Chain A
Amino acid sequence: MSAQKEPSRPDESSLPRADSSVTTVLTIAGAVLLLSLAAPQWAKFLLTIALAKGLVVLGLLPQMRTGLVSFGQALYYCLGAYAAGLAAKWFAVSDLILMIFIGGSLAAVLALVVGVLLSRYRSIFYGLLSLALSMILYGLLVKTEALGSTDGFNVAPFTLFGYRPEQDSVRNVMLVVVTTIATVSALVIHRHLRTPLGRMTTAIRDNEIRLEYMGASARRVIYVNYVIGAVLAGIGGAIVAAAVGHIDPEMAYWTMSGEFVFMAILAGTASVLAPFLGAAIFSAIHSFAFDVSPNTWQMILGASLLLVIVFLPDGLWSLFRRAERS
């Protein structure tokens, strides 16, 4: 007997409706790409970074739907970045797609191991253990002078399928690649959440024990979601490494994970598009707050987080839902 969900729940579309989401995602992706290709250079850069971070937040989405908030996504974000950077530095890898692949793969390998341990935990312990692990990576990187310690190192300009883009078109190429990856990932996650394993995701948050009574393994679901999250974070990190051209251990610090959680809260977990919206809005708030005053930007961020949690617990995406329904 499958639980009948009330139609007002924003995070489950009712079964009989045709999967219009795929077309929605593709349309939005196309629109964003076209519009942004006409934007000024600095805006393209901002958007690339926002999309890459949105990818990491997308990885947080399945975990958050089980009710688990990971404060350690930065571990894989940083690992992906360093993997890509070291591939470029030591093995002369310069192909962007290869770098991203390496970043994601290394993240996957670590997650497959760590996930076994982490999937035993719930609630804040999940968050704290993930935090501890990312801080261990931070400590290791800072200690390693060969990798530049806190200064990090630069990543040489990338090539794409053997061709090195001109200075002027680097931003465009990056944008196209990132948007493609983001779209594909969003669709993959969307699909994943519709598989039996994916549907069990929200069931865990509702009542894990009853799920186990039904014979399903909550631990397996959490494990799979964790690895997915890690891969996406690794990919995001590799993209940022290539786009910014520099990596450093700060990428593993817990405040970086805090940023991702912030973005996830900001937009909510209702739709696979929400993470990207969250990342974009966070970047906008951060940018705006930064320009206003150096001693109040944290206050502005904190206040926005508070307002969203208190008044819009399902994130900003719920505004769209409400508009739709009314």
Chain B
Amino acid sequence: MDQLVAICIDGVIYSSWLFTSAIGLTLIYGVMKILNITHGSFYALGAYTAASVTGTLLARGMEPLLSYLVLLGSAAAVALIVAPFLERGLLRFMYVKDEVVIMLITYACFLMLEDAIKLIWGVDPYFVAEPYGLLDSFEIGSLTYPNYNLLLIGIAAMSGLGLVYVLNRTRVGRLLLAVIHDPEISRAMGVNVDRFYLVTFSFGAFLAAMAGAFTAPTLSVVPAMGVDIIVLSFAVVVIGGLGSLQGAAVGAVIVGLVRSVSIHLAPELELFVIYFVMALVLAVRPRGLFSIAEARKI
């Protein structure tokens, strides 16, 4: 019984982390049809900025509870500085090109940002542990979990619900849905599609950076962290269907639970169980579980 509870809790915690890390990717794809490999870089940048800024401020005597705001602020800073620069300065000229070519462009940017991170922060791991332990922990059975994980679950839920609300209930959201379905007609109707793209890209970057920033207190920030998140986010998003928010949620839950089960019951399989699930889903439903129907243009 204890093990079942542990599997569920671990699954939920991991799923919420996956979800927060992946929604940025699916949002950008859904709106701009770009498979953004720089997603990993935004995640890493968010984590590094959060770790170093929070660490420095805490060392200077900042009130520890403020560190959560600093984490959020670091993510916002990354998104507001790097993302518009990338979108306006480079991607905007590439929209006419093939999907795959744009993906390769984002891959090139990812490579460059990886080294930029190393040049700015060096190769040593960073960590800022205070925010993690500050909120105390809760106990279930014989297991202890820090309350920080509840914060992560909360963030995932808020981001997901927030996005759903914005998309369906606000004017901006509905315009965005129009842009998703048909950018040309939207442009013809007077919607400033370019601005929507800029905002979407920046917001997607913010989501990725936020995931990184809030993950930073739980681990040590290392140069390789961007690479892994790309593959994981891809898997989640592809399983759920590119561009679909519900898909990302379902994908995250599936992957999180499967991984949790395998860790508790069959640890040796953990290594490739995620690719296996991804290949399985793709084989059965080529476009993912909740894919958006697209009209084929002849």
Contacts and interface: CB of A to CB of B under 8 A. Distances in A.
The reply, when asked whether chain A contacts chain B directly with Cβ atoms under 8 A, is yes
Interface of A: 67, 69, 117, 120-121, 123-125, 127-129, 132-133, 135-136, 138-140, 142-143, 207, 209-210, 254, 258, 261, 265, 295-299, 301-303, 305-306, 309-310, 313
Interface stretch (B60-68, B178-186, B252-260, B279-287): B279-287
Nearest to B276: A136
A123 B100 contact: yes
Contacts of A138: 272
A121 B281 CA distance: 13
Contacts of A309: 101, 104-105, 108
A303 B113 CA distance: 10
A298 B111 contact: yes
B115 A295 contact: yes
24 contacts: A67-B98, A69-B100, A121-B282, A124-B103, A125-B238, A127-B103, A132-B278, A133-B275, A133-B279, A135-B231, A139-B275, A207-B298, A209-B298, A265-B104, A296-B115, A296-B119, A298-B111, A298-B112, A299-B112, A299-B114, A302-B110, A302-B112, A305-B104, A313-B101
Contact of B282 (A125, A135, A303): A125
Given A123-B99, A139-B272, A302 B111 contact: yes
B109 interface: yes
A124 B35 contact: yes
Contacts of B231: 135, 254
Contact of A295 (B90, B100, B118, B272): B118
B107 interface: yes
Given A125-B287, A261-B104, A209 B109 contact: no
Contacts of B93: 310
A301 B111 CA distance: 7
Given A128-B234, A129-B282, 13 more contacts: A117-B283, A120-B286, A124-B103, A125-B287, A136-B276, A207-B298, A298-B114, A299-B111, A302-B115, A305-B107, A305-B111, A309-B104, A310-B93
A139 B276 CA distance: 10
Contacts of B164: none
Nearest to B238: A128
Interface in B262-298: 268, 271-272, 275-276, 278-279, 282-283, 286-287, 296, 298
Given A67-B98, A129-B282, A295-B123, A302 B104 contact: no
B296 A129 contact: no
B82 interface: no
Given A123-B99, A129-B282, A303 B275 contact: no
Nearest to A143: B271
B166 interface: no
B39 to A, nearest CB: 14
B116 interface: yes
Given A123-B100, A140-B272, A296-B119, A305 B286 contact: no
Question: Nearest 7 CB-CB pairs, A to B?
Answer: A139-B272, A302-B111, A299-B115, A302-B112, A305-B108, A306-B108, A302-B108
A135 B232 CA distance: 12
Interface of B: 35, 90, 93-94, 97-101, 103-105, 107-112, 114-116, 118-119, 123, 231, 234-235, 238, 242, 268, 271-272, 275-276, 278-279, 282-283, 286-287, 296, 298
B279 A129 contact: yes
Main SS at interface, chain B: helix
A97 B211 CA distance: 51
A204 to B, nearest CB: 14
A128 B282 contact: yes
A218 to B, nearest CB: 13
A303 B108 contact: yes
B286 A295 contact: no
A132 B97 CA distance: 25
A258 B103 contact: no
B268 to A, nearest CB: 6
A209 B296 contact: yes
A297 B118 CA distance: 11
A123 B114 CA distance: 26
Contacts of A207: 298
A60 to B, nearest CB: 12
Contacts of B116: 299
B112 A142 contact: no
Contact of A124 (B100, B112, B114, B118): B100
A132 B115 contact: no
A127 B100 contact: yes
A207 B297 CA distance: 10
A161 B285 CA distance: 49
B109 A132 contact: no
A140 B272 CA distance: 7
Contact of A303 (B112, B276, B279): B112
Contacts of A69: 100, 104
A218 B114 CA distance: 39
B240 to A, nearest CB: 13
A271 B268 CA distance: 46
B119 A306 contact: no
A306 B275 contact: no
A258 B283 contact: no
Contacts of B99: 123-124
A306 B89 CA distance: 13
Contacts of B104: 69, 261, 265, 305, 309
B242 to A, nearest CB: 8
Given A295-B115, A299-B116, A306-B109, A132 B286 contact: no
